[in-house]
Structure 1
Amino acid sequence: MNFTLRRLLVIGCIILLVSAYTDAQDFLGSKKDPVKVLKATSSMVIDGKADEASWKMAKAYSFDYFKNVEKPSDKQTTSFKILWDEDYIYLSYVCEDEFITARMKDRDGWTFVDDCAEIFLIPSSEKVNMHFGFELNLYTTANDFVFMNDMHKEGNFVVKSYNPEYEVAVHIDGTINDNSDMDKGWSMEMAIPYSAFHMVGPVTPLEEGAIWAFMAIRQDRNEEEGQRVTASTIFPLKGKAKDVHDPKNFGFLQFVKASK
């Protein structure tokens, strides 16, 4: 697809995105008890290690809600942290993983059937039926999109031409795609700029006290063949479908300053 056509498609979708702010479902999460996101107080280097002073101050959250578990080894631990400043949202995933696996190297491909870190963000505290999605595998291959829930009679609509620039780095403690040995795990850092969200209307600024909605996910693939993965999430998934894209399953985050 050439640049002009892609741009027209994105612009055309803005109308749909803005309308998504007017007809939305309730969130599961409560604004009264949001995840507190500390402001970074040190320079951030995105190298996959998350060893800056600011990361040491951030609270770690585990992904305790699992989907598609078939055996005990499918439940591997994940530690998630998040920070902010006026220009970026910073994300850290530290994942236990005995069998590190990734295949996809094409942007906007199926990274979600690899070992993969995902973040879905709604840059607003309002009831909205859309979110920005970022799904990264261990090659730092990106599947990024704008997801709109219940936009037409067929169901959901996904804008795949959304390809913003952001920083990602991975650190691997083991061997990728080699199940002859036991690995220890991997970690990933992301820095997503606030400018990545400027394509839609009422975007809440990155500032102290602001509230956004989000879902954080890990996809865990332990088998070299096939596409079976186990998903784990920061918030519980309700309903029969246990849909990670359903905004009723999202929680809230609030940007705060670090205490001195």
Structure 2
Amino acid sequence: MMKHLLPALSSAFICSLSSLSAQTPDQVQYMQSAPKVYAATKINSPIHIDGKPDEAAWQQAAWSNAFVDIEGEHKKAPAYQSKIKMLWDEEHLYIYAQLEEPHVWGDISKHDAIIYHNNDFEVFVKPFDDQALYYEIEVNALNTIMDLMMPKAYRLGGDAMMHWDVKGLQSAVHVEGTINDATDSDKYWTVEMAIPFRSLTSYARKAMPATNSYWRINFSRVQWQHEVQDQTYQRKKEGNRFIPEDNWVWSPIGVVNMHHPERWGFIKFVEAEERNPALPATFALEKAAWNIFYLQQAYQRQNKQFADKISLLPSYSKILQAENSKLQHSFLLNKAKSFYKLTLTDPATQTTVTLDSHGNYHIHHE
């Protein structure tokens, strides 16, 4: 299963999945959709976290687009609607999610257990452009939390830091119906969160957003088919195996793997309401760099070495040629062509991205 790797998995098994996480040219085609952008309005009064959007600020905040399949809109639309809102103040990022669900259930009550074995709602947030680390928070309908820090994505050799917690996190769940009652039909469940900025740190560096700045962010919903045994909900099986879960997300990835932070959407921190916010000015440059990275992986699998020219990469004419026409690039390769470092510059924005074959990434603003 590519969406998650259990923290209990051995490092050898995680390494064995590295080839699976590399995209084929056909998969890269599905990773070309523009990410979603949400403009979160700054508020002056804190939100009371109770799972209900009673405050005027929530009533005025715009709904996001409805979630889609993680692979994109070419896949079947989700069976149930999911949508979110966001707000912020000097201390917190506020999130409100409403998840349509006729059968609200959950049986995991231990903190940092594997929450996505229940239907759940997940938050992924990456405050720092120039660092690989990001954070994940999962919650089920019992308001049980699993939170972790990723120093870098699993597919790039990262390992979940499960001992990390969002200090001061506030969360609440409201069920419009009755949880764990298989005799009736429910309407939806909601999640409300206040995430303290002071808890999202890069060692000594604080993650405090500036007005009009952007963070990478995404939201996911894991949805299992269920069956009822002795009036108790359980994940449904075929034979001895659970039927694979559905993965519904705010901003589609293109592949079944949430751990592509470069494919997440964006939150823009604004002072006043802003409809239809634009993508960051550097987005096209970053997208081009990661497309080269994906296609270098495909080239290396076929040729046992990396390419020294982007024109040699598969799907060059379909994916890379047009988007690189106004960019300046160079490769630094070792003699065996088993390692490369890409430098990609956008003269229009005076911005440079460096990205190597291990996924080490940095963005430089002139």
**Counterpart pick for 2:123 among 116, 119, 122:** 119
Change (3 A) 1:73 1:247: closer
- Is the contact between residue 125 and residue 216 of structure 2 (CA under 8 Å) also seen in structure 1? yes
Aligned residue among 164, 179, 184 for 2:187: 184
Quote how far apart the aligned CAs of 1:64 are. 2.9
Return closer, same or farther for 1:92/1:46 CA change in 2, 3 Å cut-off: same
- Corresponding residue of 1:99: 103
Contact kept, 8 Å, 1:166 with 1:190, in 2: the verdict is: yes
Displacement of 1:251:
1.7
Conserved? CA contact 1:28–1:250, under 8 Å: no
Alignment of 1:62-101 (within 5 A): 62-67=65-70, 75-101=79-105
Does residue 213 (structure 1) correspond to residue 216 (structure 2)? The answer is yes
1:233 deviation in Å? Answer: 0.5
Are the equivalent residues in 2 in contact too, given 1:74–1:220 (CA < 8 A)? no
Q: Which amino acid aligns with 1:183?
A: D
Compared CA separation, residues 247 and 29, structure 1 to 2 (3 A): farther
Secondary structure of the 1:105 match is coil
- 1:229 corresponds to which residue? 245
8 Å CA contact retained: 2:46, 2:89: no
Distance change (3 Å), C-alpha of 1:41 and 1:204: same
Instruction: Give the deviation of 1:63 after TM superposition.
Output: 3.6
Q: Is this contact kept in 1: 2:108–2:118, CA < 8 A?
A: yes
- 1:175 deviates by 1.9
Alignment match, 2:264: 250
Q: Is 1:160 matched with 2:162?
A: yes
SS, match of residue 84 in structure 2: strand
Summarize deviations over 1:52-105 as a string: whole Å, max 9, x none.
11112211113432259xxx9962001200110110000000111011111111
What runs of 5+ residues in structure 1 fail to find an aligned partner?
A: 1-26
Rounded Cα–Cα distance in structure 1 between residues aligned with 2:70 and 2:270: 31
| TM-score normalised over the length of structure 2 | 0.56
Match of 1:23 in 2: none
Match runs of 1:36-51 below 5 Å: 36-51=39-54
User: For the residues of structure 2 that align with 1:222 and 1:73, how far apart are their CA atoms?
Assistant: 16
- Alignment check: 8 A CA contact 2:125 2:215 kept: yes
Q: CA 1:222/1:100 → structure 2, altered by over 3 Å: closer, same or farther? A: farther
2:195 counterpart SS class: strand
Give the C-alpha shift of residue 187 in structure 1. Answer: 0.9
Q: Give the alignment's Cα RMSD to 1 decimal.
A: 2.8
Q: Which has the higher contact order (CA 8 A, sep 6+)?
A: 1
Deviation track 1:30-67 (CA, whole Å, cap 9, x = no partner) reads 79x83211112444111100121111221111343225
Aligned length: 226
Letter in 1 for 2:104: I
Distance 1:98 1:74, change over 3 A: farther
Classify the secondary structure of the residue corresponding to 2:158.
Answer: strand
Q: Which amino acid aligns with 1:39?
A: K
CA distance in 2: counterparts of 1:234 and 1:152, whole angstroms: 21
Counterparts of 2:32 and 2:215 in 1: how far apart (Å)? 13
Match of 1:109 in 2: 113
Contact 1:101/1:222, CA 8 A, preserved across alignment: no
One-letter code of the match for 2:59? K
C-alpha change, 1:73 and 1:151, in structure 2 (3 Å) is closer
Equivalent position amino acid for 2:188 in 1: G
Paired residue for 1:16?
A: none
Distance in 1, matches of 2:154 and 2:175, equals: 39
1:197 aligns with 2:200: yes
- Tell me how far 1:232 sits from its aligned partner: 1.0
Moved more, 230-239 or 199-208: 199-208
Q: TM-score normalised to the size of structure 1?
A: 0.77
- Hey, what's the Cα distance between the residues in 2 that align with 1:218 and 1:152? 21
User: Separation in 2 of the partners of 1:67 and 1:120?
Assistant: 14
Indicate how the Cα distance of structure 1 residues 244 and 63 shifts in structure 2: closer, same or farther if over 3 A, else same.
farther
Cα distance in 2 for partners of 1:166, 1:29 equals: 32
Sequence identity (%): 24
Counterpart code for 1:143: M
Contact 2:154 2:259 in 1 (8 A): no
* Structure-1 separation of matches of 2:127 and 2:54: 27
Q: Tell which deviates more after alignment, 59-68 or 40-49.
A: 59-68
Partner residue, 1:21: none
Q: How far, CA to CA, are the matches of 1:89 and 1:128 in structure 2?
A: 20
